[in-house]
Amino acid sequence: MTKQFKKGEVIFREGEMGDTLYQIEEGTVSIYAAYEEKEQQLLTQLGKGKIFGEMAVVEAYPRSATAVAEDDVTVLEVESSEVADFFKTNPDRIMDIMKSLSGRLRSLTADYSDVSNTVSQIRNSADKEFGGALADLIIRFATAYKRNKAINKLSVEADRILSQNGHSEGYAVKVEDFDKGQIIFKEGEVGDCMYDIHSGTIGIYEGYGTSDEKLLTKLNSNMFFGELGMIDKVERSCTAVVMENNTTLEIITESDIKELFEKNPAKVQMILEHLSYRVRHLTSEYMNACKVIYRVNEAKNKGDIDEGLKSEVKKCND
């Protein structure tokens, strides 16, 4: 359905629940954090052909920003129940949405790194004054918590659905078997595909094969990995290693997505849900760290950082 918005009109607000995405047909849309508040920040401006609000149709989740018509705007509004038909006539938009979600992940990863470093600085300065750059960082993340605490909730139902989907069902583009010890990709390599685990276990390592080797996580059947390499052609941040014999993986490249949607649309929906879950989960981790910093800032202003809060700081992000 086509909708029109006048200059300055709000299309949707941060924190609202939604079940529609929008494609701009005419005009420009501005995306704001903390719109009409003291901390208002213009995140980006989008022009003709661009899509926004996509997370709401992947799964129910509060809007993470406010969308405002920069001038008179015409948009195509697509409800969650209409997304499959939208993709059939606009297959290229599947990758657009994946790239949008991966962009959020990259941005969130950078923010999470910053907030984790700030917690570490607080931890190392627990009995000192928080001055200079550290004070500025504390205010930044305390403010982020105040503004976004309403969305600091994970969907348990979505977790359950993700864990129950059978990824080996239906059409698969390319399936291969691997033996224990085989390296799927190495840290630092530029990726061009993602993987769906049909059976077996994959270990994700940092510093694999070095004295600093660290097993970050184990991935089992019905899980995806390596998706950012497929979407953005970026360097792999970790090494993926097969942990048991007869592990079976489906290998998916960007050029496979259209065919996969035509023959197994449920698989594409799973990939979108997986990306959305990663955004939600990292958002929750980020907000949990911001909450600790918010509490430190409040206690600092009152001159009362007690042992309980110091302990919470020490445990944060462990």
CA atoms within 13 A on the CB side of 39: 13
Of 221 and 129, which is predicted with more confidence?
Answer: 221
Q: What is the pLDDT of residue 245?
A: 95
* Confidence (pTM): 0.82
Contact 204, 242 (CB under 8 A): no
CA–CA separation, 135 vs 297, rounded Å?
9
Residue 299 predicted with pLDDT over 70: yes
Where helices occur in 125-248 by DSSP H, the ranges are 132-148, 156-164, 227-232
Share of the chain above pLDDT 90, in %: 47
Does the structure show a pLDDT above 50 at 158?
no
Higher-pLDDT residue of 201 and 162 is 201
CA-CA-CA-CA torsion for 203, 114, 283, 239, nearest 10 degrees?
Answer: -10
* 3-state class (DSSP) for residue 208: coil
Q: Sheet harboring 223-225: ordered strands across?
A: 175-178, 247-253, 193-199, 223-225
pLDDT grade for 312, boundaries at 50, 70 and 90: confident
Distances (CA, A) of 62 to 28, 42, 57, 139: 23, 19, 11, 24
Lowest mean pLDDT segment, chosen from 79-88, 170-179, 187-196, 210-219: 79-88
Would you state the structure tokens that stand for residue 271, as one six-digit string? Answer: 């990939």
Weakest-pLDDT range from 144-148, 162-166, 193-197: 162-166
Q: CB–CB of 93/86 below 8 Å? A: yes
At residue 111, does pLDDT exceed 50? yes
Could you tell me which residue, 145 or 198, shows the higher pLDDT?
A: 198
* Three-state secondary structure call for residue 195: strand
Closest CA to 194 of 174, 165, 213: 174
Helical pair 92-124 and 307-315, crossing angle rounded to 10 deg: 140
Q: Is the pLDDT of residue 159 over 80?
A: no
Mean pLDDT, the chain, integer: 86
Assign 167 a pLDDT band (cuts: 50, 70, 90): confident
The pLDDT of residue 27 = 96
pLDDT at 256: 95
> Of 7-11, 45-49, 118-122, 198-202, which range is least confident?
118-122
Q: What is the pLDDT of residue 199?
A: 95
Higher pLDDT, 312 or 171: 171
Contact call for residues 203 and 218 (beta carbons, < 8 A): yes
> Which DSSP state fits 14?
T
The third-level CATH classification (topology) of the domain covering 2-90 is: Jelly Rolls (2.60.120)
pLDDT greater than 90 at residue 76: yes
pLDDT at 283 over 90: no
Q: Rounded CA gap, 143 and 141, in Å?
A: 5
Q: Positive or negative CA dihedral for 21, 26, 32, 35?
A: negative
Residue 310 has pLDDT above 90, yes or no: no
60 vs 128, higher pLDDT: 60
Q: Which listed CATH number (3.30.365.10, 3.10.180.10, 1.20.140.10, 2.60.120.10) goes with 171-263?
A: 2.60.120.10
Between CA 45 and CA 43 the distance in angstroms is: 7
